[in-house]
Amino acid sequence: MASAPSKLYSDDVSLVVVLLDTNPFFWTTSTLSFSHFLSHVLAFLNAILTLNQLNQVVIIATGCNSCDYIYDSSKTANQSFGNGRMPTLCTTLLQNLEEFMTKDEKLGIEEAEERITGSLLSGSLSMALCYIQRVFRSGSLHPQPRILCLQGSPDGPEQYVAIMNAIFSAQRSMVPIDSCYIGAQNSAFLQQASYITGGVHHKPQQLDGLFQYLLTIFATDLHSRSFLQLPKPVGVDFRASCFCHKNTIDMGYICSVCLSIFCTRHKECSTCGSTFGHAQSDDASATNRKRKAPDS
C-alpha cells in the first residue's frame, strides 16, 4: 500500500477540520481531564487562526451515538460579540459542545443497553470529507484542507469498512489525515489513516504537554511539511477486520471478486454474492486459503 502522492502547495494557508473525541466512556478513564484537554485544544486553534488571516478551522464533535459540527470559523468571523470579555471561539464552541453532549447522551439512553463504548469516528470522518468536498466545489478559492483527529477511545472494529472507505476517499481527494492519539493503546485505524493519506500520526508521551505537541507537530501547514522534520511512522498496524464478525484478524479468507475479508469459510460472499468453489479436502484447502498478510 503506497502512501498518497503529495500535492504541491504554494503557500501556507490551511483549512483544518478537527475531529474532537467527546466519548464520556473514554474521558472518565483518562489521566487527562476533558476540561484540560479542551483548554489545550482551544489555545491550539487560536494559534492556527493567528498564523494566517485566511486560515479556517472547523470542529466536529465525535460522540458515541452521533456527531455534529460544533464550530466553523468562517461563519462566526464577521459576528460581533456582546460583552467582549470572552472570545467568540470559546463561547460558541463551548455552548455548542454542551448542546451536543446532552443530545448525544439522550440518544444513548434511548438506545438499548448493549451499546458499545467506542466513538463514531467513521461518522465524523465522513462529515469532515463532505465539508471539504463542498468547499472544493463551491468556488475558485484553493483551500489546502487537512483533517486532524484528536482521538482517545479505542478502535471500534465494527466501523472498519466505513472508516477504510472514508480513508480511501480522503486519499483520492488528497486530503491528509493527521492523527493524535491520546488513549492508552495505539489505534490501528488512525495509524493506517495517516499512513495512507500522507498525514502525520503521533501518540504524545506526556499528556500535560499536549499543547506543545499540537503546536510543534500538528500546526505545521502542508507547505512547510516538505522542509520540516516530523515524526515518521515506526510501524503501522495493518490488520483488518473481517466483514462477518467484525473481529480484527491477522489471517483470513478473502473474496476473489470484491476483496471482502472473512474470518471463517463461507459458501457465498455476503458482499457481492459470488459463490465460492466447493471445499476440497482439508489439506488442499490450505493452498486455497489466501493470506491477508501485513503489507509493507
Partner 1 sequence: MPQVKIIAKNFMDMVASLTARDLDNLYQNPFICEAILRSLPPLAKKYVLQMLYIEGSVLAKSMEEWVLADGFTKHRVAIDRLVQLRIFSEEKKKETSYRLNQTFQTNLQKHLIYGGALPREPMPSNVTVRLPTLEELETYALGQWQCFLLQLISSTQAEKPTNFSSSMMKVFQRGLLTQRDKESPRLSESGFQFLLMDTSAQLWYIIREYISNSQERGVNQADLISFLLELSFHVSGEAYNVNTLSELQKNMIKDFADLGLIKLQQGRKDSWFIPTKLATSLSISLTDSSSRKEGFVVVETNFRIYAYSTSKLHCEILRLFSRIEYQLPNLIVGAITKESLYNAFDNGITADQIIAFLQQNAHPRVAERVPSVPENVCDQIRLWESDLNRVEATPAYFYDEFPSRDVFEAACDYARDRSGLLWEDSKKMRLAVKAETHTHMREFLRGQS
8 Å CB contact between 82 and 112: no
Q: How far apart are CA 126 and CA 169, in angstroms?
A: 9
> What residues between 123 and 162 interact with partner 1 by CB under 8 A?
140-142
Residue 272 sits in the site that holds partner 1 (CB under 8 A): no
CA–centroid distance for 133 within its chain: 16
Type of residue found at 25: F
Selection from 6, 21, 30 nearest residue 184 by Cα? 30
Give the total of residues touching partner 1 (CB under 8 A). Answer: 37
Smallest separation, CB 223 to partner 1 (Å): 6
Give the one residue of 8, 35, 185, 227 binding partner 1; rule: CB under 8 A.
227
Smallest separation, CB 226 to partner 1 (Å): 7
Give the one residue of 2, 5, 8, 10 binding partner 1; rule: CB under 8 A.
10
Smallest separation, CB 67 to partner 1 (Å): 25
Candidate ranges 23-31, 190-198, 222-230, 259-267; the one touching partner 1 (CB under 8 A)? 222-230
Three-state DSSP class for residue 142: coil
Residue in the structure block whose three cell numbers are 503529495: 6
Residue 35 sits in the site that holds partner 1 (CB under 8 A): no
Smallest separation, CB 91 to partner 1 (Å): 9
Beta strands 67-72 and 248-249 are unpaired
> What residues between 37 and 96 interact with partner 1 by CB under 8 A?
43, 46-47, 49-54, 78, 80, 84, 86-90
Cβ proximity to partner 1: between 10 and 28 the closer is 10
Q: Taking the chain, what is the end-to-end CA distance rounded to the nearest angstrom?
A: 7
Report phi then psi at 170, rounded to 5. Answer: -65, -40
Q: How far apart are CA 96 and CA 76, in angstroms?
A: 13
Which residues are near partner 1 by CB under 8 A? 10-13, 43, 46-47, 49-54, 78, 80, 84, 86-90, 140-142, 211-212, 215-216, 219-221, 223-224, 226-229
